[in-house]
Amino acid sequence: MKTLIVGSGIRQVKMFDYPITAIDISQEYLDKAKEYRPENIYVKANVEDMPFEDNTFDKVFFTHVLEHVDNPIKAVSEIYRVLREGGVLYCDVPSKEMEVFLCKHNDVFCRDVCRGFHKTQWDKKDLFKILNKFYVLEIKENNGSNILFWYLWGNFIKIFKAEDDFYIEECGQIHCVKYDRLARQLSRCFWIIDKLFSRLIFRSIAYEYKSVAVK
């Protein structure tokens, strides 16, 4: 069973207890992931042009990456190419509904995520169109994500006027040079009540697709 992870963060490689192949455009991310799982194969590559032969993998995990790529159609076509017939694609994306809400209420999120870091926004209809080469087995609407975290984080930065001092780890932990202890405590509080807030406000925070390649 050959598995490919597209976008090799530490959280992603920790999910597997067997050797996998992981790609990322960031050598730094690959190096960090390799510290945790040195037995894996790590390749610096763009999902839009992967250095693998056709029909190589049985599974591809494409988790919260689609919204970051320049050419989503090309990226999905490349995944389809490297998947064997009957291979499974797991694709997660944040919902357009959630991102529109945050852009209206959080200037930091709007500037750093919606206008730059995230290059596209997705709803169910658009996802079905781009996954037209796959047979969709299962769709989950995840409404337990970190909406409150992002909402309060951006406004917290503005209140303390410390935008340049803040940074966020991949795991979601906030840090701040000036207010690090307070930032850490707020981060923990955000996660505790986040699910309840998300469920009350949104029908879906993210879409999770499990699809099979039909060739």
Digit-coded pLDDT (tens) for 152-190? 665 665 666 555 555 555 444 455 555 556 656 665 666
Q: Is the model's pTM score more than 0.95?
A: no
Q: Are 62 and 50 in contact (CB under 8 A)?
A: no
Tell how many helices (H) and how many strands (E) occur in the chain. 8, 9
What separation in angstroms does the CA of 154 have from each of 127, 158, 165, 170, 174?
28, 7, 13, 16, 11
Look up residue 88 and give its two tokens: 């499974």
pLDDT digits (tens, 9 = 90+) for 100-159: 777 776 666 666 565 567 788 888 889 888 988 888 787 776 655 555 556 666 566 566
The answer to whether position 34 is within a domain reads no
Range of the domain at 73: 46-213
Quickly count: other Cβ atoms within 10 Å of residue 147's Cβ: 24
The answer to whether position 124 is within a domain reads yes
The answer to whether position 6 is within a domain reads no
The answer to whether position 28 is within a domain reads no
Q: For the chain, how many structural domains are there in total?
A: 1
Q: Are 50 and 78 in contact (CB under 8 A)?
A: yes
Q: Are 92 and 214 in contact (CB under 8 A)?
A: no
pLDDT digits (tens, 9 = 90+) for 38-60: 999 999 999 999 999 999 999 99
The answer to whether position 119 is within a domain reads yes
In this structure, what is the dihedral angle of CA atoms 76, 38, 32, 206, given to the nearest 10 degrees?
40
The β-bridge partners of 166 are: 176
Calpha distance 120→95 (Å, rounded): 10
Q: What is the CATH number of the domain that holds 104?
A: 3.40.50
Helix (H, G, I), strand (E, B) or coil at 42: strand
